């Protein structure tokens, strides 16, 4: 590896000291009277990868923004390349940030620019390099990231994994010394997570980068971390190698890690967790030889599967595999190019508008974001569908609100606002709002994406609890195999528009199909 010159600061000497390249000393940060970071100290070793983990809302993103001076502490000191950010001028902080770039969780790509323009943007805006030279650097990066074919595409045509790679390329094209990653693999399937991890390692070695990564994904953390730090209640409560953290005796660390294996495989599950019922089922959804094309893009290729009544079916597959397109057929948003989709015995392609609305009224959905109305109380959020429907009295609606709230254990927060409750409570409130209309089918769209291991387990428990208490059929779109094997009665796997398997979790794990093995054991 040859030493690289920062293209934004060509005269700046690279950090050569063995002292911490970033250091936080007894820093604190308070928002609305609530301490988010509380007397925290942490040193980032140059040339290494430090992973920071912790529950959602523990202050990880605030901590990351402190490291490059985007957020300044209320108390304590932050040193970046040996300079104290709190006493530095804004101009100095800006110069230091040119040596310390960031990869955002939501990509932060510019929709109107091509991949090449997005990646080259920092150089085009801050240097006098020619367009030809910038494009040459972009091409080299895209070759390394196996994305050369996408150089002139717009972000809208990219998958989630491709967008992550473009964001990574933009972060390193200036030859920074430090890259801060905010949840770099959130929302990706297991195969793509492993691929992105390898690219991060490859980029780090090629560019001589110090990496700080915020991540909940433990298989990813095991691969990437030279050092791992656990954040809880605004403080670092444990740090060391991944193995050291896994074996920590600290109760809060054990609670966080207890449901975490070092891989995404499900070898650690007990045998009875893999057994599924073998009785005959009634089926509420039947898909028969479903094909769907958008122009020349053949998205679904002869899919046939059935959804058993009052069971939990998890639909898995990589980004762009066709999962969402299949679900949209089941709820009548798409019409097949050929084939049939029957819901409650009705062939959806034969239904008129009113009949279709009658079927759709029996289907509830819970989206990735809880999508609550911030200006309404929890009680008003739950009641909203019935108020809009205008078929029940306010008194009857309030009785139903209380009933569904009690069954989902949110009755104690009915008069609070969404901003005053936790992420887990928001999920339950959103589910209560969906269930108050008494659907027969509930569809969950990536319910555990971006959640820490503790919250993932709570969301899984919520789905199982709702299925049992409300006697409903559940369909879950998911990337997470641990969650899938925890809750599923049936698993449907799709790859590149083809049905790979539709069977019990046990059959999935026992499958000899290479496509199944690659997906469920990615990262093992």
- Per DSSP, the three-state class of 17 is coil
User: Contact at 8 Å (CB) between 231 and 24?
Assistant: no
CATH match of 283-521 with 3.30.565.10: no
Q: Do 283-521 and 22-266 fall under one CATH topology?
A: yes
Burial 392-408 (b: 16+ CB within 10 A, else e): eeeeebbebbeebbeeb
pLDDT recorded at residue 183: 86
Angle between the N-to-C axes of helices 423-435 and 378-389, in degrees from 0 to 180, rounded to the nearest 10: 20
Phi and psi (nearest 5°) for 308? -70, 145
CATH match of 22-266 with 3.90.1300.10: no
pLDDT recorded at residue 260: 56
Task: Determine the Cα–Cα distance for residues 231 and 443; give it in Å rounded to an integer.
Answer: 33
Residues 6+ apart with CB under 8 A from 118: 109, 110, 155, 166, 170
Boundaries of every domain in the chain: 22-266, 283-521
Low-confidence ranges of the chain (pLDDT < 50): 261-279
pLDDT recorded at residue 264: 42
pLDDT recorded at residue 142: 94
Q: What is the largest CA-CA distance in the chain?
A: 73
pTM: 0.75
pLDDT recorded at residue 276: 42
Angle between the N-to-C axes of helices 423-435 and 453-469, in degrees from 0 to 180, rounded to the nearest 10: 20
Task: Determine the Cα–Cα distance for residues 266 and 375; give it in Å rounded to an integer.
Answer: 42
User: Contact at 8 Å (CB) between 343 and 307?
Assistant: no
């Amino acid at each position: 590896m040859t030493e690289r010159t920062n293209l934004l600061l060509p005269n700046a000497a690279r950090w050569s000291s063995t002292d911490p390249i970033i250091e936080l000393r007894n820093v604190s940060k308070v928002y609305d009277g609530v301490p988010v970071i509380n007397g925290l100290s942490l040193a980032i070793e140059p040339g290494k990868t430090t992973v920071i983990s912790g529950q959602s809302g523990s202050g990880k993103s605030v901590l990351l923004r402190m490291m490059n001076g985007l957020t300044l502490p209320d108390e304590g000191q932050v040193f970046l390349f040996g300079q104290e950010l709190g006493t530095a001028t804004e101009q100095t902080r800006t110069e230091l940030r040119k040596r310390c770039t960031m990869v955002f969780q939501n990509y932060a790509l510019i929709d109107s620019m091509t991949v090449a323009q997005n990646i080259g943007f920092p150089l085009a805006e801050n240097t006098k390099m020619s367009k030809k030279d910038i494009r040459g650097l972009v091409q080299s990066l895209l070759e390394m990231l196996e994305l050369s074919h996408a150089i002139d595409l717009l972000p809208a045509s990219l998958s989630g994994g491709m967008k992550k790679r473009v964001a990574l390329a933009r972060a390193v094209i200036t030859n920074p010394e430090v890259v801060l990653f905010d949840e770099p693999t959130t929302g990706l399937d297991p195969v793509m997570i492993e691929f992105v991890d390898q690219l991060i390692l490859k980029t780090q070695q090629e560019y001589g980068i110090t990496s700080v990564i915020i991540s909940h994904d433990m298989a990813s953390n095991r691969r990437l971390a030279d050092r791992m730090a656990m954040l809880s209640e605004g403080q670092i409560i444990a740090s060391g190698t991944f193995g050291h953290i896994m074996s920590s005796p600290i109760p809060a660390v054990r609670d966080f890690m207890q449901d975490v294996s070092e891989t995404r495989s499900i070898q650690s599950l007990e045998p009875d967790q893999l057994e599924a019922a073998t009785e005959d089922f009634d089926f509420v959804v039947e898909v028969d030889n479903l094909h769907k094309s958008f122009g020349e893009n053949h998205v679904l290729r002869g899919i046939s599967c059935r959804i058993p009544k009052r069971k939990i079916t998890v639909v898995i597959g990589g980004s762009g595999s066709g999962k969402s397109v299949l679900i949209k057929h089941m709820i009548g948003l798409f019409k097949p190019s050929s084939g049939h989709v029957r819901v409650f015995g009705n062939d959806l392609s034969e239904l008129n508008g009113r009949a279709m609305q009658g079927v759709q009224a029996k289907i509830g959905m819970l989206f990735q974001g809880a999508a609550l109305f911030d200006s309404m109380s929890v009680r008003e959020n739950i009641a909203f569908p019935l108020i809009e429907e205008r078929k029940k009295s306010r008194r009857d609606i309030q009785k139903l609100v209380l009933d569904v709230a009690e069954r989902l254990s949110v009755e104690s927060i009915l008069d609070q606002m969404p901003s005053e409750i936790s992420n887990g409570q928001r999920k339950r409130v959103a589910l209560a709002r969906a269930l108050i209309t008494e659907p027969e089918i509930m569809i969950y769209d990536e319910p555990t994406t971006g959640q820490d291991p503790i919250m993932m387990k709570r969301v899984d428990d919520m789905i199982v609890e709702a299925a049992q208490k409300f006697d409903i059929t559940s369909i879950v779109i998911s990337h997470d195999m641990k969650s899938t094997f925890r809750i599923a009665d049936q698993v449907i796997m799709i790859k590149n528009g083809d049905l790979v398997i539709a069977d019990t979790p046990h059959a999935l794990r026992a499958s000899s199909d290479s496509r199944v093995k690659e997906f469920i054991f990615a990262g093992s």
